[in-house]
Amino acid sequence: MHNRVHDMYRGGWSKEAIAIEPDGYAMFGYGMWHHRARGRQTALHARAVCLQDDGGRTLFFCCLDLGYVSHAVREGVCASLRTRLGADFDEARLVLTCTHTHSGPGGCSHEALYNVVTPGFVTTHFDAVVSAASSAIEAAFRSLVPIELRLHEGRFDDDVEVAWNRSVHAHNRNPDATKRSSSETHLAINRTMRVLSLRREGKVEALVSLFGVHATALGNGLQRLDADNKGYAAMHTEAALREAGAASPVAIFAQATAGDVSPHFHGPGQTARRNAKSGEAEYAYAKRNGELQGERALATFQTSEGQTLDGALDAIFSYADFNHIEVDPRHAGGRTDATTSEPCAGVAFFRGTPVDGPGIPKALGAIAKMIAGWVKRRRLARLDRVTPEQRAYYERVYAAQGEKAILLESGPKYILGRPLSRFALPDFVDPSIAELKRQVRSGAIDKSPLVPTVLPLQIITIGTLALVCMPGEFTTTAGARLEQTVKEALASRGITESLICTYCNDYMGYVTTNEEYAVQAYEGGHTIYGQWTLGAFQTRVAALAAELQKPVADRTHDRTTRPAAIPADELALRTNLPAPGAKPTWQTRSWSPGA
């Protein structure tokens, strides 16, 4: 029944501008107080593709020119689509993702941490994003026509300067990765692009590209909304398709394993090379990086027939609470005690990345690491003097978080072992810290989560292709391992290709391998559920894949777990806060939550 061959798909595609005015709110990505939108360089769009098989089963794929998709945004889009397309709209069949541009609007999440610099939740931004996404998806659905669907694969030549691994020392810890030197960081990534092309009467009218590289070609000193490299790739490709005869082409450039992949050179002399690009030169560089991606996508389907996809469309979707997941020993090096824990951000997270987004100064980071170590030793030495609940928490967190020097504990809301309300750093040191403390004092985050903990997991299948749609940022090797897990789990169903699409349906930081995590580079510091986070994803996604093997009526996966509602009174206290007016004459070095 599942593998019945279908003769033809129908497809639709559309795009809609995200109508946000640059009015001084901080952009999402770098977490810098000064990184504010005061102008517009390019338009931002929601791009959507809809697929339908001859059994009437439908899939929706929408990519936003944003830094992140939040649970609030996804819920808003689903509510809108139930009004637009009918109350029986199935959210499992919607993939909502983003390009991860760091020059897009912030303030679209209900969780507190990633909105601190905005500051707060901005309803005009949220409404514009939900409206654009819903309109694009509906228009794509309303424009369904017979199409041919093909999957193509192309590789960037080694000398094409499009992407580099920014944490090669961590990457080299993986036994399943080819070891690379500091002058070979461009080879320590997945240089293959996959392209799904939608053809009508022999012409490519729309496409979805999957290639992992951060949308950080533009730095945090700029103050204009911009779609960055992925947006430029889309614009370049759409122009080429239009010239080839497509009436209203849509080119989606989504992300794959971008977690440890930068659009900037990493290697000897990296800082000087990055500093040589500033101001308008950064826009030119972002455009060129995007054009390289666009040219690769065009060449990929122009020079090869690709694989024609022909089979049923299917999808499965569930939420999982990552505060505590017991990891299958197969995904934990044989260990039977591997678990996740309540989210914790490490000192390495606040240090940022050396080229894409520097964070706190090195000296301050060293002091914070020393204090974090002291807090850990003191807590573990005094387990017999605390409550049973505290003891269980300390044992669980330090076992799960492993080598991480913990700076921020998101569950109890502690910084370096002290409640946020008693954090001693003076307000004048950093306006981001001042805003966070102000929200604490006002009661805006007493019961609100700082970051998501109940996460969306999704697999969609298109004939013999499985697309694994995950929240957050997976490193090159972490993503490859998850793809292999799903491919093996679905082999008996006839799946021959498994691909990961990241930044889907919510945002929760990074996912590294256990080996990478031990290095505690930026990516490991921002893998907030601990050293077994990847194993937890593999465990839960494998279980979801097993359910996908069953007929729809027989599936018993969790459909009830959902993120808890944010306290309305607290959300109100951090909603529509005034944006800082004048541009500062200095630039603070704060944390980089999506660098």
Q: Is 485 part of any domain?
A: yes
Report which of 336, 332, 353, 320 is spatially closest to residue 524, judged by C-alpha positions: 353
Q: Which domain holds residue 305?
A: 9-319+453-519
Looking at residue 289, its pLDDT comes to 98
What pLDDT, on the 0 to 100 scale, is given for residue 5?
Answer: 39
Helix (H, G, I), strand (E, B) or coil at 356: coil
User: How many domains would you assign to the chain?
Assistant: 1
Contact 477, 259 (CB under 8 A): no
Q: What does the pLDDT read at residue 430?
A: 80
Q: Rounded to two decimals, what is the model's pTM?
A: 0.95
Residue 378 lies in a domain: no
290 with 379: CB under 8 angstroms? no
Which pLDDT does position 540 carry in this prediction? Answer: 98
How is residue 539 written in tokens? 């465990």
Query: Is residue 381 assigned to a domain?
Result: no
Residue 474 lies inside a defined structural domain of this protein: yes
The pLDDT, as a whole number, for residue 595 is 57
**Percent over 70 (pLDDT), the chain:** 96
Q: How far is CA 68 from the centre of its chain?
A: 6
SS3 86: coil
- Is the preceding omega at residue 354 within 30 degrees of 0, hence cis? no
Tracing tokens 């500093």 back to the chain, one arrives at 275
The maximal CA–CA distance of the chain, rounded, in angstroms, is: 74
Written as six digits, the tokens of 147 are 């199409």
Give a yes or no: residue 594 inside a domain: no
569 CB contacts (<8 Å, ≥6 apart)? none
- For residue 18, is it within any domain? yes
Q: Which tokens go with 364?
A: 């301050």
The 10s digit of each residue's pLDDT in 458-497 is 999 999 999 999 999 999 999 999 999 999 999 999 999 9
Residues sharing a CB contact under 8 Å with residue 568, sequence separation 6 or more, in sequence order: none
Determine the pLDDT at residue 424.
76
Residue 189 lies inside a defined structural domain of this protein: yes
Q: How far is CA 279 from CA 12, 236, 582, in A?
A: 38, 22, 19
pLDDT along the chain (595 residues), means of 10: 55 98 96 96 98 96 98 98 96 98 98 95 98 98 97 97 98 98 98 97 96 98 98 98 96 98 98 95 98 98 91 97 98 97 96 90 93 97 96 97 97 94 77 90 95 98 97 97 98 95 98 98 98 98 97 96 97 96 41 44
Phi and psi, residue 493, nearest 5°: -85, -10
Residue 572 vs residues 182, 566, 593: alpha-carbon distances, Å = 48, 10, 23
pLDDT given at position 2: 40
Taking Cα atoms as reference points, which of 498, 473, 532, 541 lies closest to residue 194?
A: 498
Taking alpha carbons only, the member of 95, 100, 62 closest to residue 473 is 100
